[in-house]
Copies of this chain bind each other. A is one copy, B any other.
Amino acid sequence: MALAHDYVRSNGLDALTMRRLAVAADVTPGALYKHFRDRKDLQRAMSDAIYATIDLSDIDTANPSIDNVKTCCERMRRAMLAFRDGGRIVAGSYAPLSATLNLSATLMTLLHAVTAPEHSPGQLAAVLRSYTTGFVIDEQAYLELSGTDEWDSLVQQIAANGHHRPTEADDLIAILTGDRNRRFDTGLDMILTGLVQASLAPPT
C-alpha cells in the first residue's frame, strides 16, 4: 500500500499499473490479486491512505466552531495535495474504510453544532466535500500542466478562442495562477458564511 503511494508520488496516477506496482513490490503481477480485488479496489485503499495522513487529534469535537470546520476542510485539501493526483484518487471512490469514515464522522459532529437549523449537517458535509475535491482536482490538473509546454499552448488557445471578450480569458488564467491557498479559503468562507449567519447573527 505504501509502495503504491510511493509509486504514484514519483510517477503519477496514470502511470500506476498493476504490473509496475508488482515489480516495485518485487512480486509477480498475479500475486497482487491476493491483496486487492482489482484496480478499483487498489484505488480505494489508496484513497483511504490519503485520509489516514490527516491528523485530527487536536480538533476538539466537544467544542465545535466554524474554524474547526474550516480546519477540517483545509486538512482534507492538504492531504490530497500531498499526494500526486490525490484529488482524482479520492474523487468518487467511495472508500468506506476507517480513515475516510473517521474524517466524515468528526466533520459531521462539528457540523451538527454549527449548521443553521434549516439545513442538514449531512447535506452541508456533502457540499463541503464536493467543493474541496472539485477544487483540488482542478488545482492538481493545473499543477501537472504548468511548467510543461502544454500549458503555454493552452493559454494561447484560451486567448485565441475567447476573442470576443478578452478580459474574461485573462480572468480565467489569473484565477488559476493566483494564490490558490487564499482562493480555497475564500471559497470556504463563501460557503460557510451563508450557512451560519442565521444562527450566529439572528435578525434583531
Contacts and interface: CB of A to CB of B under 8 A. Distances in A.
Most buried by B among A92, A142, A164, A187: A92
Contacts of A108: 168, 171
A141 B93 contact: yes
A192 B132 CA distance: 17
Interface in A80-113: 87-88, 91-94, 96-98, 101, 104-105, 108
Contacts of A197: 194, 197
A122 B194 contact: no
Contacts of A98: 161
Given A96-B154, A142-B94, A145-B94, A133 B137 contact: yes
A16 interface: no
Interface residues of A, number: 57
A29 interface: no
A185 to B, nearest CB: 11
Q: Taking the full assembly, how many copies of this chain does it contain?
A: 2
A193 interface: yes
Contacts of A141: 91-94
A183 B123 contact: yes
A2 interface: no
A96 B92 CA distance: 25
